[in-house]
């Protein structure tokens, strides 16, 4: 049975995630209201601006609905999505994160928009070819992993991809490349 992956469509580059899911032939849909989650088996929280993202989630009721959904479903957060899912934001911010993956992040740790870059990272999950071209745009840095969180991908010696029991989180934008292996891992290995 095909699984339907929802992509939070409030702000950010949700269209690129939908395109990545189409490339791996995974049914998908936009999620803009809590009731949209009823037809989803998993949810992707894309990059964007984390404060705006969280404000929109609060306004639409998704700030309460997503943690409830996460009790029995898988989530994948990229860049701002990672920040929203974290348990702690180093240095604080104007919103309280959802606390769905035990890790701490520092916002914009790789620099401002003009400091954006693309670089090969190492993902041992893909033993035939662990190199993955990752795009970092005002990216957060994972500064601490909790005991229930497993590192999966590395930029030099820094963790940039991690997961716990049902949340996958990336500090970069895998949807901005043609390499769909991370989306495929999320859909086929995690969701099943």
Q: How far apart are CA 77 and CA 164, in angstroms?
A: 12
- From the candidates 17, 26, 73, 79, give the one annotated as an active-site residue: 79
From the CB of residue 14, how many other CB atoms can be counted at a distance below 10 Å? Answer: 23
Q: How far apart are CA 72 and CA 70, in angstroms?
A: 5
- From the candidates 17, 73, 155, 173, give the one annotated as an active-site residue: 173
Q: How far apart are CA 143 and CA 8, in angstroms?
A: 25
Q: What's the token pair of residue 135?
A: 């795009």
Q: How far apart are CA 23 and CA 146, in angstroms?
A: 33
- From the candidates 26, 73, 155, 175, give the one annotated as an active-site residue: 175
26 is catalytic: no
173 is catalytic: yes
Catalytic residues: 79, 173, 175
């Amino acid at each position: 049975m095909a699984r339907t992956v929802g992509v939070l469509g409030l702000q950010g580059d949700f269209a690129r995630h939908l395109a990545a899911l189409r490339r791996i032939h995974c049914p998908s849909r936009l999620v803009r209201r809590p009731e949209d989650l009823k037809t989803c088996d998993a949810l992707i929280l894309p990059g964007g601006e984390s404060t705006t993202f969280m404000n929109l989630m609060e306004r639409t009721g998704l700030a309460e609905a997503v943690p409830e959904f996460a009790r029995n479903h898988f989530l994948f957060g990229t860049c701002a999505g990672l920040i929203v899912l974290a348990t702690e934001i180093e240095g604080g911010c104007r919103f309280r994160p959802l606390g769905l993956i035990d890790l701490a992040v520092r916002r914009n740790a790789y620099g401002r928009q003009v400091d954006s870059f693309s670089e090969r990272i190492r993902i041992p999950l893909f033993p035939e070819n662990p190199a993955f071209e990752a795009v970092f745009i005002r990216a957060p840095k994972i500064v601490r992993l909790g005991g229930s969180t497993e590192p999966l991908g590395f930029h030099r010696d820094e963790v940039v991809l991690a997961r716990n029991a049902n949340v996958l989180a990336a500090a970069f934008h895998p949807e901005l490349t043609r390499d769909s292996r991370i989306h495929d891992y999320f859909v086929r290995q995690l969701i099943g």
